[in-house]
A and B are shown apart, each in its own frame.
Chain A
Amino acid sequence: MSSYIIKRVILLIPMLLGITMITFALTKALPGDPVYTMVGERSSLEIIEKVRREIGADKGIVRQYIEYVSLLAKGEMGRSYYTNRKVLDDIKSRFPKTLVLAAGAMFIAVPPGIGLGLLAALRKGAIADRIISTASMIFISVPVFWSGLLIMLFFSLSLKLLPPSGTGGPRYILLPSLTLALPALATIIRVTRVSVLDVVNMPFIRTARAKGIKKKSINTLHIMKNALIPVVTVIGLDFGSYLNGAVLTETIFGWDGIGRFMMEGIIKRDYPVIMGCIIVGTVIFVLINLLVDVIYHYVDPRVRLHGTDR
């Protein structure tokens, strides 16, 4: 398996090169010019040209790209056009905050999600299943900018339990994590339910029952273990996307994460920031997927990680 992991990590390099090339071309193709925002409301053509030279925007796009890639090769990501701070430092300072938020959301979403999904499947058609399925449908449909505001109004303004915004310890994490967790919880419930229902009807479960194995054992060892593959995939996807930042949730709760950082970069056409965030995001996504593959192997030994038979 280790050779498979090494191979996947090495494959990251051409993938990143491709991603930088596409992103670089796309950001440059966007309408707008960061120089106009950098120079303020009143500036002469000389100033605009001076700033353009300063940030290297006067060079050809190919040359700019080569310079950017050579910077990356040195382990740097350049400086933000506006703040003049190192992009890598800014990402490093924000990533742990995003990680904490994503982990908090997963902590809230995963155990109850799997539990409630299993419960709904095992009680298919009963009142519990109907309540859980309806609630999960609602949570999937509600947009986070609305649920986030409601959660804030309820827990902060009405109950005065938690601060409405800020970045910090557990009391700051709870509300944004809960907001992020709700759609994830609902997705996990639904996927678990469907997946368990698939497995329940398979012949080996019937065989197990015929063999007189205890119900508890069947539910855990036979059903859950086999039903977990799609659930792990969904968890991996959600976790990966939260690690790339949750713009709306971070904005509502004033959380200083990668999502807000990247959004500001996009709005201001701060190319080094956009590129930096996308590269880090790609690496995270690929690594999470790799981790999910490894988990597959442990959850379901039928999955072999040799790189060729997958």
Chain B
Amino acid sequence: MQYIFGRNYWNTLSVFFLLAFLIISPACSSRNRTEGFIHYRLNYNPTTLDPALIVDVTGGLIAAKLFNGLVRLDEKLNVIPDIAERWEIKGRGTEYLFFLKHNVKFLNNREVTAYDIKYSFKRILDPGGRSPNSWVLDKILGAREYMSGRVADVEGLEVKDRYTLKIKLVKPFSPFLNLLTMTAAYIVPEEEVKRWGADFASHPVGSGPFRLKEWRHNNRLTLEKNGDYFDGPAAIKGIVYRIIPEDLTAVSEFELGNLDVISIPSYEYSRYVRSPKWRSLVSSVEGLNTYYLGFNCARAPFNNIGLRKAVSSSIDRKKILDTFYEGRGRLAEGPVPDLLRRWYTHNPNRYDPSAAKKIIEKEVVDNRTVNFYITADQEVVDIAEVIQSYLKKAGLDVRIKQLEWSAYKAAINNGEADLFWISWWADYPDPENFLFPLFHSSNHGASGNRARYTNKEVDRLIEAGQRSVDLSERDSAYGVAENIISEESPWVFFWHKTDYTVRQPYVRNYRIYPIYSMDKGLEVSF
């Protein structure tokens, strides 16, 4: 004590810091990676890896490496065999006969059979289970009766033999094969689910190209190559997902070589695409998404089509896209992304502020104040303020109400908002996924139609498209439906956002995919 508080304060402090440095210095290095493994970044810790429970993209992205479905998507968004070797569609699209590959094995070395498919599908529909994904499989005959607990089995799931499964649908549903590419339709081994119980979410066992080696929650998740994968092993030893919530931290890790690929944060976009070092290493893909400003079509003032169109015409979407997003996307003509559209759709609401203002002045007599619900995300707040200023010029007083995500979702699902900003990302690559949940009148609120749009003709056309087994007939129904929707403008259709990633020069055969489930991690190498 005497020495510490004696005259030599500076010496004491210097000794303290020197000691601290000596303790730490042997460990000094900015490197943090496992050789042979590719290092990616995740913004958030995946909530679960149980396919029955996954609703987030992060969980789906990892599950795609651990599990397989009957079918999967190729790089051109076609449905191709996965566990199934082939299939036959009969009964005007109501019967699917799947023939499974032999010798596809779970990681516990047991062969995948038709019984596993039936078990996995029934698990999603289980009346006592808590899967929020039952909508993926509820088109199967008898699924709803099983879900309600009235019957003990699903009538439409029939195991013909060890390698053959017959699935019967209640009625034809054209995107059914697409649905089977989703996480909820991944196949799980019953014995492992029973062994782990609720903890299967953290101990997933599938048949995929990777196995879960370690999951240090909120820190890192490591996948190791499955050397016996039926479709040929991956080219890398494994994948390390680093969980890094902060963008700047992720960029620092990338620049130090601790991450091999990162999704480019908006504020770093121009630096990477202009940098001679990085620009050839930037990849992009047109996202299967639509960003929109939704109207509450079920109540005044936006139950008025003319007013909705005027609001659409009062916002210069192209200018916002070019300046705010630096052109990282395509202007939307309607709800369906261009990549999925095989017909012509034209957005009739071109930017015309003076005409829009006149209509708004004529149509809105009593109250010119509308509420606009947004999330607390900074990018959304910035866009909302730009929209607010356009609408103010057009004569509408917009009050922005900023809510945290779950409160926001509850509010827009319950129809509290006049206007709301949100995006829709494809579950599967079919135009139906951008029409039925979002505009069919049976889906108001939490099911997807948050604009509460109702049009009997659109309902009929979407249903006709779902039923049709003929592609051109389906496209014609969807095309007419989309054009009616564009004309009636339940949303201001903003853009389809493009995703950008940047990789290290030594990463080879890297691809960026429009849907998370497409990336099995097999091709990428060093």
Contacts and interface: CB of A to CB of B under 8 A. Distances in A.
A84 B132 CA distance: 14
B32 A166 contact: yes
Contacts of B256: 156-157, 160, 163-164
A8 interface: no
Contact of A220 (B5, B47, B201): B5
B219 interface: yes
Contacts of B413: 36
Give chain A's interface secondary structure class. helix
B447 interface: yes
Contact of A42 (B4, B9, B135, B405): B135
Interface string B1-36: 110111101001100110010011001111110000
Contacts of B446: 36, 39, 42-45, 48
A256 to B, nearest CB: 4
Contacts of B198: 79, 84
A61 B209 CA distance: 46
A200 interface: no
B507 interface: no
Interface string A153-191: 100110011111111011100100000000000000000
B12 A115 contact: yes
Contacts of A76: none
Interface in A263-297: 264, 267-269
Nearest to A93: B217
B68 interface: no
Contacts of B55: 38-41
A46 B217 CA distance: 32
B237 interface: no
B406 interface: yes
A277 to B, nearest CB: 14
Q: How large is the interface on A (under 10, 10 to 19, 20 to 34, 35 or more residues)?
A: 35 or more
A51 B134 CA distance: 12
Interface in B118-147: 130, 132-135, 147
Given A32-B410, A43-B135, A170 B13 contact: no
B405 A224 contact: no
Contacts of B258: 163-164
Nearest to A220: B5
A309 interface: no
A251 interface: yes
A116 interface: yes
Nearest to B438: A42
Contacts of B242: 165-166, 254
Most buried by A among B48, B220, B249, B256: B249
A62 interface: no
Contact of A217 (B2, B28, B32, B425): B2
B403 interface: yes
A50 B149 CA distance: 12
A33 B220 contact: no
B199 interface: yes
Nearest to A48: B446
Contacts of B31: 163
B205 interface: no
A73 interface: no
A75 interface: no
Interface string B323-346: 000000000000000000000000
24 contacts: A37-B409, A39-B55, A39-B446, A42-B437, A46-B147, A83-B47, A83-B201, A84-B53, A85-B199, A85-B202, A118-B5, A165-B252, A166-B32, A169-B27, A170-B27, A219-B5, A220-B5, A224-B5, A253-B249, A254-B219, A256-B216, A256-B217, A256-B218, A256-B243
Interface of A: 30-34, 36-48, 50-51, 54, 79, 82-85, 90, 93-94, 107-108, 111-112, 115-116, 118-119, 149, 152-153, 156-157, 160-167, 169-171, 174, 216-217, 219-221, 224, 251-254, 256, 260-261, 264, 267-269
Name the 10 nearest CB pairs between A and B, nearest first.
Answer: A40-B55, A32-B407, A32-B406, A256-B218, A39-B132, A31-B407, A171-B27, A82-B47, A164-B252, A36-B409
Given A108-B20, A115-B4, A256-B219, 20 more contacts: A32-B405, A33-B407, A34-B406, A37-B409, A38-B132, A42-B447, A42-B448, A43-B135, A45-B447, A47-B132, A84-B48, A157-B256, A161-B28, A163-B32, A165-B249, A167-B218, A171-B28, A217-B2, A253-B249, A256-B243
